Homo-oligomer: A and B are copies of this chain.
Amino acid sequence: MRFNENLQRLKTYEAGKPIELVVREYGIDEKDIIKLASNENPYGTSPKVVKKVQENAHKMYLYPDDSMYELKAALAKRFGVSAEEIIIGAGSDQVLEFCARAVLNEHTSVLMSKITFAMYEIYALQQGSKIIRSSCYRHDLDEFYDLYQKHNPSIVHICTPNNPTGDAIDKEYLYSFLEKVKDPLVVVDGAYMEYAAYKDPKKLIPPRELIAMYPNAIYLGTFSKAYGLGGMRVGYGIAQKEIIQQLYKLRPPFNITTLSLLAATEALKDEEFVQRAIEKNFAQMDRFIHFAMQNELEFIDSYTNFITYLLPQNINAKDLANALLRRGIIVRDLSSYGMNALRITIGTPEQNSIFFEKCKEVFDEYKR
């Protein structure tokens, strides 16, 4: 048996540690663990969505509606696009995978920011594609344009707000880039867009406008963050139907669970829950900024539900993350991204207070 050569180059994505693992490995009680590692909505899922799923739990034996009629109709209405301009994935991740598999092969390259969502690289490597990265973690689109001219990539990844850094670009800045870049598929990943749009409307990229103006663009959104459905694996791509039709050829049947379809459709009906979570997020963000200043930590101004603390040389990100883990707090160490930094999800007021307390405790230990 011979495996394809591309497999040899592949990294495996390192997910945020789940609570279950910390319970098992550290013997900490589940209720004493605070997970600020995967940017889930700390206010949970809308109670209306929970109720909907509970009422329909007996339908688990039935395959989902593979046309996803209801959810597509709800998304089409929400964004002012047609159902043919939407593809639903098991997380926006899966739409990323469709894009990579539709366009990439060993003769192509992919352009992305120096530090950005890890799956862009993984899916590209699966296809044997070459990775081109900018020199700066922010999306410097002038440099992107230079690299585009030099390498002629088949996909350009724009993550705004960017994960794991939290910064975002203005819509007009993106559009001025797209005016000049007509060949590659430009993937605009807006997984955290709901947060950015609240903080600064200039950051909002409306999918309808984007795809009307730029037929080579695809917008990605997700229910995993602001909509509080990280565990249900629902995301979407919005693009002109010529692109969607090609991606559809790679969609496996029944890629969204029966309960996930119901949950996502219901979640779109409770915008109030989402908006309140976002408001609370930025109120709590101020506390993280204050804490950083108090402790002389640098941070990146964030348009998301997480904040990235850039640590000084004398504090090692991995050590700090482990010290917090032993205290029951899970955060994301960004060492694997080449940064001495921690990415911390903005939790509930109570969770954040405990985080500040425990983090201070570790810092005090370091000083001794």
Contacts and interface: CB of A to CB of B under 8 A. Distances in A.
Q: Which 6 residue pairs across A and B have the least CB separation, nearest first?
A: A231-B258, A18-B65, A15-B66, A61-B228, A10-B249, A20-B65
Contacts of A40: 61-63
Chain A: interface residue count, which band?
Answer: 35 or more
A257 B228 contact: no
A301 to B, nearest CB: 25
A1 B44 CA distance: 40
B93 A90 contact: no
Interface string A30-47: 000001001011001100
A205 to B, nearest CB: 19
Interface stretch (A101-109, A164-172, A333-341, A352-360): A101-109
Contacts of A65: 18-21
Interface string A265-307: 0000000000000000000000000000000000000000000
A10 B253 CA distance: 14
A13 interface: yes
Most chain B Cβ neighbours within 10 Å, of A41, A67, A119: A67
Given A16-B63, A53-B54, 13 more contacts: A1-B216, A1-B243, A15-B253, A15-B254, A18-B63, A19-B62, A20-B69, A38-B63, A57-B57, A101-B126, A230-B258, A233-B255, A257-B260
